[in-house]
Amino acid sequence: MSRARALGLLEAFGLVYVLEAADAMMKTADVELVGYENVASGYISVLIQGDVSACQAAVESGVAAIKAMGGEVYSSVVIPSPHPDLAKITKRYALKSLLPA
Amino acid sequence: MSQQFKENMRMRYYGENALGLIETVGMVPALYASDMMLKAADVELISYENIGSTLVTVMVKGDVAAVSAAVEVGAKAAASIGTLTAQNVMARPIPGVGDIVSCHDIDVE
């Protein structure tokens, strides 16, 4: 994975909310879905990448989408020009490695 | 130290450097804390572990001063967007602790 310009992260409780948020994020701005992780006990995260402003807009709309459904967003953040070593963590959740062959 | 040299010297952690730990609820604060730690001081990401029950731990190594500075910044970052459950700087861990840390080595596929 080439170095992302910005990384957008969002975490909520339950797959239903997270899928809704991922849908809203990718429809809002020009961002690419990097990966997804079932953290544990219902905590699920989605990771996107793109330009800083695109990631900010996307994460904002993702948070709004979850709140509109009455769900709770545990945490969300946009990391501009993430440190290259973060890829060591994010690559574990890359969709490429999660999808069935 | 060149990036290439760093790539070649990937090896186990034996507790030769100070160890910095940050534990958060969920992975988003953990990733944010990692980013801030790596940018704040000359530390290296060595381990990442999703323990379960939503706890996620990230570990860095380096000089005591660098690790202390990094953990301080990382803990603040994690607490600003989520829940920080623990932070610690182990100045000189015993080799056995290094073995435990190495079980979750970030460079091992």
Residues across chain B: 109
For the question of an ipTM over 0.90, the answer is no
| Residue among B34, B51, B54 minimizing CB distance to A89 | B34
Tokens 């760093």 belong to which residue? B6
| Cα B61 to Cα B40: distance, rounded to the nearest angstrom | 13
pLDDT in tens, B6-60: 554 556 788 889 999 999 999 999 999 999 999 999 999 999 988 888 899 999 9
Q: Which neighbouring-strand residues pair with A36?
A: A46
Structure tokens at B38: 């790596």
- β-sheet with A43-50: strand ranges across: A31-40, A43-50, A6-13, A73-80
List B25's β-bridge partners, or say none: B55, B83
Q: Do B50 and A43 touch (CB under 8 A)?
A: no
Q: Is the pLDDT of residue A82 over 70?
A: yes
AA identity, residue B69: A
pTM summary value? 0.85
Chain A nearest-CA distance from B35, in A, is 6
Closest CA to B37 of B75, B11, B85, B65: B75
Contact B89, B19 (CB under 8 A): yes
Q: What are chain A's domains?
A: 6-97 (3.30.70.1710)
pLDDT of residue A99: 78
| Subunit contact A86:B27, Cβ cutoff 8 A | no
Taking CB atoms and an 8 Å limit, are B48 and A76 in contact across chains? no
Digit-coded pLDDT (tens) for A3-28: 568 999 999 998 899 999 999 999 99
Q: Rounded distance, CA B69 to CA A82, Å? A: 19
- Residue B65 touches partner A, C-beta closer than 8 Å: no
State the count of interchain CB pairs (< 8 A) between A and B.
Answer: 79
Interface test with A, best of B10, B28, B73 (most A CBs within 10 A): B28
Q: Do B27 and A74 touch (CB under 8 A)?
A: no
Of B31, B54, B58, the CB nearest to A40: B54
CB contact under 8 A, A74 and B39: no
Q: What is the rounded distance in angstroms from the CA atom of residue A95 to the CA atom of residue A26?
A: 15
